[in-house]
């Protein structure tokens, strides 16, 4: 279907002063400021229930005893679930604040405590540090919120980290995971699928942006063969059930489609939720784009239903 009308107007508005400067032409700090400016919006009187979620910042220890922040969201209606949430932003951008609204929504809709992990980011901390921090975050969640149904969740780069944590948990049997929520995950560091797709540029995220992210996250190309990075070629058997969401006008759409298919081929229960007319990052647009909000609600409803049957 065509690009959503509101998103089309948003893209036009962003280009009023000319094409947006590519990420690789900005410093990392400039890129982070731009990402925050786009993602953080004033919270007015909420009508979606997210104002009933209470929030507290906590500390956890990474594997090297570095203290990491996490933000814990507790819903008014608690259904005995917990979510370790890993934010997106290409392993370089994004933080607890940029994904605050999304985590509130997950907590409220699922009746789950949500633990948003402030993992260290590239380029200051390249692979495997963000993954190790994410594993430490999942362990902390499992220890502190014992006996709850535990979901690993993330959007974009955070979805790739969540899948990497699931692989580690499977192989080391140290964190019981009931399900995964993977929102438009990057799983092919070669970017062959993204480059061959029809939406490689012009829709908020470009293939060149992704190449920049990978250059900072995994500068050693040999490390890109690590199954926790080259996820599309990893052994995915034995993983917990997953909801995989994709967006039609996203260069990563074909990767997400291929991931859902491979998970299913390797015996993993999958619910694939496509995003017709939507772009990468739509889960953060709940307050701006009605079509994005509706699709986000559907994604969470699919996860809710999956958890009810576990």
What CATH number does the domain containing 236 carry? 3.40.50.1820
pLDDT for 37-59, tens place per residue?
999 988 765 677 888 999 999 99
Q: Which helix (H) or strand (E) holds 301?
A: helix 290-308
- Distance CA(276)–CA(140), nearest Å, equals 36
Residue 161 above 70 pLDDT? yes
In the residue annotation, 147 being an active-site residue is answered as no
Between strands 67-74 and 54-61, the pairing is antiparallel
Q: Which residues of 41-59 are buried (b: 16+ CB within 10 A; e: fewer)?
A: eeeeeeeeebeebeeeeee
Q: Domain for residue 261, yes or no?
A: yes
Task: Tell me the pLDDT band of 264, cut-offs 50, 70 and 90.
Answer: very high
Task: Tell me the pLDDT band of 16, cut-offs 50, 70 and 90.
Answer: low
Q: Provide the 8-state DSSP code for 22.
A: P
Look at 140 and 49; give whichever has higher pLDDT.
140
Between strands 112-117 and 67-74, the pairing is antiparallel
Q: Which of 32-46, 127-141, 265-279, 280-294 has the lowest mean pLDDT?
A: 32-46
pLDDT at site 18: 67
Q: Can the peptide bond before residue 123 be classed as cis, meaning omega within 30 degrees of 0?
A: yes
Q: Domain for residue 197, yes or no?
A: yes
pLDDT at site 44: 67
Task: Tell me the pLDDT band of 1, cut-offs 50, 70 and 90.
Answer: confident
Q: Domain for residue 48, yes or no?
A: no
The SS3 of residue 140 is helix
Q: Domain for residue 91, yes or no?
A: yes
Residue 278 above 80 pLDDT? yes
Look at 74 and 45; give whichever has higher pLDDT.
74
Q: Compute the residue count for the chain.
A: 310
Residue 106 above 60 pLDDT? yes
Residue 262 above 80 pLDDT? yes
209 closest CA partner among 21, 64, 46: 21
Q: Domain for residue 216, yes or no?
A: yes
Q: Domain for residue 54, yes or no?
A: no
pLDDT at site 64: 82
Rg value, the chain, Cα: 18
Predicted model pTM = 0.97
- Distance CA(305)–CA(42), nearest Å, equals 31
Domain region containing 207:
5-39+59-308
Q: Choose, from 4, 156, 199, 272, the residue flagged as catalytic.
A: 156
Task: Tell me the pLDDT band of 62, cut-offs 50, 70 and 90.
Answer: confident
Q: Domain for residue 107, yes or no?
A: yes
In the residue annotation, 250 being an active-site residue is answered as yes
Instruction: Report CA-CA distances (Å) from 52 to 75, 77, 109.
Output: 7, 9, 11
Instruction: Report CA-CA distances (Å) from 253 to 73, 202, 226, 244.
Output: 30, 14, 22, 11
Number of structural domains, the chain? 1
Residue 222 above 90 pLDDT? yes
Supply the mean pLDDT for the chain: 95
pLDDT at site 29: 98
- Can you say whether the dihedral through the CA atoms of 4, 9, 14, 16 is positive or negative? positive
pLDDT at site 45: 54
- Distance CA(286)–CA(6), nearest Å, equals 12
- Distance CA(89)–CA(219), nearest Å, equals 17
**In 10 A of CB 94, how many CB atoms?**
25
229 touches 255 (CB < 8 A)? no
Q: Domain for residue 51, yes or no?
A: no
Paired with 58 in beta bridges are 70
Q: Choose, from 99, 188, 250, 286, the residue flagged as catalytic.
A: 250
Please report which residue ranges of 145-229 form alpha helices under DSSP H.
157-172, 192-196, 207-217
pLDDT for 223-240, tens place per residue?
999 999 999 999 999 999
Q: Which residues of 11-34 are buried (b: 16+ CB within 10 A; e: fewer)?
A: beeeeeeeeeeebeeeebeebbee
- Give the contacts of 29 (CB within 8 A, at least 6 positions apart): none
In the residue annotation, 195 being an active-site residue is answered as no
- Distance CA(228)–CA(239), nearest Å, equals 13
């Amino acid at each position: 279907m065509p690009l959503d009308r509101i998103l089309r107007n948003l893209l036009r508005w962003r280009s009023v002063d000319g094409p947006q400067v590519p990420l690789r032409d900005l410093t990392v700090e400039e890129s982070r400021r731009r990402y925050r400016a786009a993602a953080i919006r004033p919270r007015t009187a909420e009508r979606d229930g997210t104002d009933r979620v209470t929030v507290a910042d906590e500390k956890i220890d990474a594997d090297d005893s570095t203290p990491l922040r996490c933000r814990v969201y507790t819903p008014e209606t608690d259904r005995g679930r917990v979510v370790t949430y890993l934010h997106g932003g290409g392993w370089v951008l994004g933080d607890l604040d940029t994904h605050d609204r999304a985590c509130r929504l997950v907590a409220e809709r699922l009746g789950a405590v949500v633990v948003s992990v402030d993992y260290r980011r590239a380029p200051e901390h390249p692979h495997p540090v963000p993954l190790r921090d994410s594993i430490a975050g999942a362990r902390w969640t499992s220890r502190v919120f014992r006996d709850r149904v535990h979901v690993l969740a993330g959007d974009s780069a955070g979805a790739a980290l969540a899948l990497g944590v699931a692989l580690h948990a499977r192989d080391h049997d140290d964190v019981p995971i009931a399900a995964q929520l993977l929102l438009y995950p990057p799983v092919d560091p070669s970017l062959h699928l993204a480059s061959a797709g029809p939406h490689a540029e012009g829709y908020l995220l470009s293939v060149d942006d992704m190449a920049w992210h990978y250059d900072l996250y995994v500068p050693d190309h040999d490390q890109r063969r690590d199954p926790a990075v080259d996820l599309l070629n990893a052994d995915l058997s034995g993983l917990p059930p997953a909801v995989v969401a994709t967006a039609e006008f996203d260069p990563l759409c074909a990767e997400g489609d291929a991931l859902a298919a491979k998970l299913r081929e390797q015996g993993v229960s999958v619910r694939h939720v496509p995003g017709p007319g939507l772009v990468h990052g739509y889960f953060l647009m709940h307050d701006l784009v009605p079509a994005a909000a509706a699709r986000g609600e559907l994604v969470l409803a699919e996860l809710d239903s999956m958890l009810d049957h576990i």
